Amino acid sequence: MTTPVLQPRAALAAVNRALHRIGIDAFILLLLGTVGLATLLPATGPAATVVGGSVNVVVGLLFFLYGARLSPQEALAGARNWRLHLLIAGCTYVLFPLLGEAARLLPDSVLPPRLATGVLFLTLLSSTVQSSIAFTSIARGNVAAAICAATFSSLLGIVLTPLLAAWLLSGGAGIQVSGGQILDIVLQLLVPFALGQLLRRWVGPWIQRNRLVTLVVDRGSILLIVYSAFSEGVREGIWSRVTVGQILWLVAVCAAVLGLVLAFTAVASRRLGFDRADRITIQFCGSKKSLANGLPLATILFPAASVGLMVLPLMLFHQIQLMVCTVLAQRWGRRGTEEASSGGGGIHPGRPRVSRPSGRRGSRR
């Protein structure tokens, strides 16, 4: 009698399902483990040089994959609801930065200048793509609009985030954004992204067939960047420059920023007359900040010795947003299921819909 062997993909899926049942995200555990590894065994000497070079390679590969995966048809499918996209963009690139600037007004005893700059940096980033769409789907929202909004935010962030950083971060906490750094952004982010778009016809089908490989590259690149950033931070004494009390204050500030944005998106979308599905999309797409885009950008904008402290607020915010939005999405989803079972007409999570402008019921036949 032979014992069945669990395939690696099935084993990973089983572990992920088990962690999900008890409310733990596997990627959060990997991030925390990577920070712990960098703290105990930081890359030094020649190993640090190899890790630093690898980061440059994976950053380019990451944005090449973004370009190759993006379908122009998907981006255009949900573009009709301009009010929804304008509200999401306003939250992402206006409301968030205003809250980031407000955080810099806190006393240094609560939030030291570099951590305050890190909070401001995270508020300048684009929205996430995968998690925004996933949460919208779980909550039974407008998936097509979420795909479009997250895509637009990511594309806009490639250009707008560096410009906002150059404006708001120059001179802050010793950070200077130079023309050379902008050129690095173009070479490391925009050029690979454009190359991915040009080659999408040939590499796109392969990427669709091998989603596990691209997922590993996506998540693995983030873990490598985190390891490199915190290794440099440990070598420069990052943990000696931040106290337990400051970390607790930082968690409180990140939670407050997220809570304010979630409250604003809920109230504003309702007051502006959006339907239930669109309100879900606005809340999840307008309240996220992308760790995947923020970490590569931080390695370009900030000195190597400062990257660890600068991305610490982003990492904490990322984990908080995942946990909070998981609860919200499940609550929305249960409510939608109850409405559908009682004849309320819930939205199927996997079925994209194109919303009509509020106040119109569509043309009569």
Q: Return the DSSP state at 211.
A: H
Average pLDDT in the 96-113 region? 91
State the virtual CA torsion across 357, 71, 128, 218 in degrees, nearest 10: 170
One-letter identity of residue 317: F
Distance CA 95, CA 82 (A): 18
pLDDT value at residue 248? 92
Distances (CA, A) of 180 to 58, 162, 169, 184, 205: 20, 12, 16, 6, 36
Higher pLDDT, 277 or 210: 277
- 41: Cβ–Cβ under 8 A, 6 or more apart, which residues? none
Distance CA 230, CA 233 (A): 5
pLDDT value at residue 234? 77
Contact 230, 35 (CB under 8 A): yes
Top mean pLDDT of 117-131, 150-164, 339-353 is at 117-131
Mean per-residue pLDDT over the chain, rounded:
77
Query: Which CATH number applies to 25-335: 3.30.1330.10, 1.10.1610.10, 1.20.1730.10, 1.20.1530.20?
Result: 1.20.1530.20
The residue extents of the domains of the chain are 25-335
What per-residue string of b and e applies to 124-137 under the rule 16 or more CB within 10 Å gives b? bbbbbbebbbbbbb
Q: How far separated are the first and last CA of the chain, in Å rounded?
A: 66
Distance CA 37, CA 277 (A): 42
Distance of CA 250 to the CA centre of its chain: 18
Would you say residue 280 has pLDDT above 90? Answer: yes
Percent of the chain with pLDDT over 70: 75
Q: Which two tokens stand for residue 209?
A: 């067939």
Would you say residue 146 has pLDDT above 80? Answer: yes
Ordered DSSP codes for 193-240: HHHHHHTHHHHHHHHHHTHHHHHHHHHHHHHHHHHHHHHHHHHTTGGG
Distances (CA, A) of 187 to 63, 192, 297, 353: 11, 7, 12, 37
Contact 190, 167 (CB under 8 A): no
pLDDT value at residue 86? 92
Q: Which two tokens stand for residue 133?
A: 């769409």
Out of 270-284, 307-321, 337-351, least confident range: 337-351
One-letter identity of residue 346: G
Would you say residue 286 has pLDDT above 60? Answer: yes
Would you say residue 315 has pLDDT above 50? Answer: yes
State the virtual CA torsion across 34, 192, 285, 319 in degrees, nearest 10: 10
Average pLDDT in the 132-148 region? 81
- 228: Cβ–Cβ under 8 A, 6 or more apart, which residues? 43, 48, 51, 52, 54, 55, 299
Higher pLDDT, 255 or 190: 255
pLDDT value at residue 74? 54
pLDDT value at residue 353? 43
Distance CA 157, CA 55 (A): 20
Contact 127, 285 (CB under 8 A): yes
Q: Which two tokens stand for residue 214?
A: 């691209």
Average pLDDT in the 305-333 region? 82
Tell me the pTM. Answer: 0.67
Average pLDDT in the 93-121 region? 91
pLDDT tens figures, 68-104: 876 666 555 555 778 899 999 999 999 999 999 999 9
Nearest to 66 by CA among 196, 172, 182: 196
Average pLDDT in the 305-316 region? 82
Contact 158, 297 (CB under 8 A): no
Average pLDDT in the 223-247 region? 78
**Phi-psi region at 237: left, alpha or beta (left = phi > 0; alpha = psi -120 to 50):** left
Contact 230, 32 (CB under 8 A): no
One-letter identity of residue 23: G
pLDDT tens figures, 39-56: 888 888 888 888 878 877
pLDDT value at residue 17? 65
Please report which confidence band the pLDDT of residue 365 belongs to, taking 50, 70 and 90 as the band edges.
very low
Nearest to 227 by CA among 28, 49, 40, 42: 42
pLDDT tens figures, 149-208: 877 787 788 778 888 887 887 654 444 445 555 566 667 667 887 888 788 888 888 877
Contact 224, 58 (CB under 8 A): yes
